Structure 1
Amino acid sequence: MPVRARLWLADLRSRLGSGARADGLGILAFEAAATMSLLVSLHRTLSDAEIRRLRADVLRAEGVAKLTSVDQSLLLHRACGELLADLDRAADAATRLGARCRADAPPLLRDFDRVYAEAKRGRLTQLDATVAFSRGATRRFKKMERHVSAAAKLYAEMDALSELEASERRMEHWKQHSGPIPAQAAPGKRPAADPGEKLMRELRVQRHKVRRLTEGSLWNVPAGKVARLMAKSVLAVLVRISIAFGEFVPGLPTWTVGRAWALGGSGGSGPLHRPATPGAALRHSAPIFGQKAAASASPVLESIKPPATTVGGSSMELRYAKVILSVETLLAGLKPPAGDGEEALEGMIDFSKRDALYKMLPVSIRKAANAKLRESWRGQPVDEVTAAASRDAVERLLRWLSPMAHDTVRWSDERSMERVQRFSMLPRVLKVQTLHFADRQKADAAIVDVLVGLSCVCWYDDERRRLESLDWDDE
């Protein structure tokens, strides 16, 4: 949240007057909306189509196989672990909100952390898969989508109001030190309106808009009602994770599939397999935190911690991604000459981009690339055939490196606190499809090969430009 918004949101309730309910969420509406957006995003990530895509395409991508692992079980563990970690964050938010409810509120609200822990251990025998597949569950997620959209619009309009109020303060400061602002008028025309009056009209309109949006948003919804909606949705997502991954990931709780599923309420749940008999239990190993699970294998959540030998383990995934994307941009800019005056300017732009790329390189990669360049070319000139072969080699590498780099940047953007991402409800990029778990030595070697090939292409392109400029001078 921008600082300027934080500074005045705390007293917004009083300034809105009767537009805000005394028992409403108030400023907590935005935290609740962000949690709801996370739950909706997880819900969509666990849809039939997304789980099929994860297993058939994402985890079998060439880049994942070359840099991370071909062990599908390990990759599924990591994907499941990340989803559970995100769900834990949503559960924590639901717990904090439930703690604000009255003392006589049900345990689902006042003691949700315990309820959630019991659910993860598979000990809530009264809870079955209907919590995730019933029509009521579908309605809850649709309701959260509407709440998130309303909160995002309210947030944007509050930001606009903050800008107007800042302008008002600047104008007041100007008047105090310089006197009133004279209204200028063209000869023969009526005097222009006072800028201060125009600003005050805009402020009145904007405050009315914010008040109207506040009345129809989470700002005015009681904490208990929101906490119940979030708590039930958290449990629904937990059931979906368990059923989507339980066949492949030990340690997930067992859920009984109830009548709602038999009636066809499984839309968006993941690749589910109907049991032979209605109400049969889906058998999945031991509970997440059970002693047997801990003794036989690492907990599911432990799988998302990147080893020190990975790119993510050294916190370099975003930097590596930007290097790869810079190479992609540079290579796309190295086109055959157009034969006009723009060619020289295009070359100057390339040089600035190359310099930026070189400065971006980690020291280890820079040294390795320079060493390989000296070994490969030894000062020999690069001809057209060699440059074309080098370009083909770089493009082949980028075909599987670039998707991982793009997903790495997208993963980072999705976790940012910018407003656009804060209320995003799209399916989530998972770490297993990024450079996070990539073996660093393999990633270094691939990037060095890309840089060597790109250097060859650039050398030939520079020489071609030089010769063309000489031809132009001769003419």
Structure 2
Amino acid sequence: MDSSSVIDCHSNTNGVHLGIQKLRDANSNLLSPGNLVRHHTQSVFKSLCKLLNPPPETLGAAALALHYANVIIVIEKLATSPHLIGLDARDDLFNMLPRHVRATLREKLKPYTKTTVYDTSLAEEWTEAMSSILEWLAPLAHNMIRWQSERSFEQHSFVSRTNVLLVQTLYFANQEKIEETITELLVGLNYVWRYSRELNEKALAECSSFRVDNENLNLN
């Protein structure tokens, strides 16, 4: 073996050693406590971002979570006193609905538009059904409003005061199912409202009849 071969071999060996040393240095830097913590934090952050990214079929993805929360809260308030619902409040609630939900609601209400006499037992069933639905749906709506309020507070005060988790809201709720549920609530509310109006009209008619009878008795 000549001297040039020995030199080439030596230089190649040095190159290999240098490459190994660089790899060791890189690994030692990567595996240092600070880098490990940073790497773990980034991984956790990426995982959280994926979890907070709503699937396409949810209200969060459609940017409707807050809007439907307001709709549900209005329904909840009206359902407590259906006999006090005025035409303006009824129209306002209807106008809060997206166009496709309004179209679905119209179709659902068609069988009831021909009804002139409303059944007491059916009105009670609708009242019970609405109460059961709102028992689990209303808290999600209120949490949605509360979560949004807390986010707004944090943006203005730079102080974190998170008391509601996003999973406790309507954010990840399935849009189609929530819209079906809201439609069902409105069908029930419409029936109970019409039943209440019928009772009020009967009561007023009886009062008027009683007043007329008394006036006739006084004339006699």
Same fold (TM over 0.5): yes
After superposition, the C-alpha distances for 1:343-394 in whole angstroms (9 at most, x for unaligned) are xxxx4x633322221111111211111111224x361232111111111111
**Unaligned 5+ runs, structure 1:** 1-114, 123-251, 254-286, 290-297, 336-346
Q: Which residue of 2 aligns with 1:106?
A: none
More helix by share: 2
Q: What is the alpha-carbon distance in structure 2 between the residues aligned to residue 430 and residue 414 of structure 1?
A: 11
Q: Which residue of 2 aligns with 1:319?
A: 67
Asked if structure 2 preserves the Cα contact closer than 8 Å seen for 1:383 and 1:460, the reply is yes
Asked if structure 2 preserves the Cα contact closer than 8 Å seen for 1:325 and 1:402, the reply is yes
Asked if structure 1 preserves the Cα contact closer than 8 Å seen for 2:74 and 2:93, the reply is yes
**Unaligned 5+ runs, structure 2:** 1-32, 212-220
Q: Which residue of 2 aligns with 1:458?
A: 193
Q: Which residue of 2 aligns with 1:121?
A: 39
Q: What is the alpha-carbon distance in structure 1 between the residues aligned to residue 34 and residue 49 of structure 2?
A: 16
CA RMSD of aligned residues (A): 2.7
Asked if structure 2 preserves the Cα contact closer than 8 Å seen for 1:333 and 1:350, the reply is no
Q: What is the alpha-carbon distance in structure 2 between the residues aligned to residue 378 and residue 397 of structure 1?
A: 24
Q: What is the alpha-carbon distance in structure 1 between the residues aligned to residue 87 and residue 113 of structure 2?
A: 22
Q: What is the aligned counterpart of 1:467 among 199, 202, 220?
A: 202
The answer to whether residue 149 in structure 2 is matched with residue 413 in structure 1 is yes
Change in 2 beyond 3 A, CA 1:307/1:425: closer
After superposition, the C-alpha distances for 1:78-118 in whole angstroms (9 at most, x for unaligned) are xxxxxxxxxxxxxxxxxxxxxxxxxxxxxxxxxxxxx9985
The answer to whether residue 143 in structure 2 is matched with residue 395 in structure 1 is no
Q: What is the alpha-carbon distance in structure 2 between the residues aligned to residue 415 and residue 288 of structure 1?
A: 21
The answer to whether residue 115 in structure 2 is matched with residue 367 in structure 1 is no
Q: What is the alpha-carbon distance in structure 2 between the residues aligned to residue 399 and residue 417 of structure 1?
A: 28
Q: Which residue of 2 aligns with 1:334?
A: 82
Q: What is the alpha-carbon distance in structure 2 between the residues aligned to residue 407 and residue 422 of structure 1?
A: 21
Change in 2 beyond 3 A, CA 1:306/1:425: closer
Aligned positions of 1:221-300 closer than 5 A:
287-288=43-44, 299-300=47-48
State the shift of 1:424 in Å: 5.9
Residue type at the aligned position of 1:324:
I
Asked if structure 1 preserves the Cα contact closer than 8 Å seen for 2:72 and 2:138, the reply is yes
State the shift of 1:328 in Å: 0.6
After superposition, the C-alpha distances for 1:418-448 in whole angstroms (9 at most, x for unaligned) are 89x7366544312111111111111111111
Residue type at the aligned position of 1:356:
D
Say which SS state the counterpart of residue 180 (structure 2) adopts: helix
Q: What is the aligned counterpart of 1:433 among 168, 174, 187?
A: 168
Residue type at the aligned position of 2:87:
F
State the shift of 1:472 in Å: 2.4
Aligned positions of 1:77-88 closer than 5 A:
none
Aligned positions of 1:143-162 closer than 5 A:
none
Asked if structure 2 preserves the Cα contact closer than 8 Å seen for 1:321 and 1:405, the reply is yes
Q: What is the alpha-carbon distance in structure 1 between the residues aligned to residue 56 and residue 180 of structure 2?
A: 17
Asked if structure 1 preserves the Cα contact closer than 8 Å seen for 2:101 and 2:179, the reply is yes
Q: What is the alpha-carbon distance in structure 1 between the residues aligned to residue 142 and residue 187 of structure 2?
A: 21
TM-score, normalising length from structure 1?
0.34
State the shift of 1:334 in Å: 2.9
Q: What is the alpha-carbon distance in structure 2 between the residues aligned to residue 372 and residue 325 of structure 1?
A: 21
After superposition, the C-alpha distances for 1:223-243 in whole angstroms (9 at most, x for unaligned) are xxxxxxxxxxxxxxxxxxxxx
- How many equivalent pairs are there? 177
Say which SS state the counterpart of residue 391 (structure 1) adopts: helix
State the shift of 1:119 in Å: 2.6
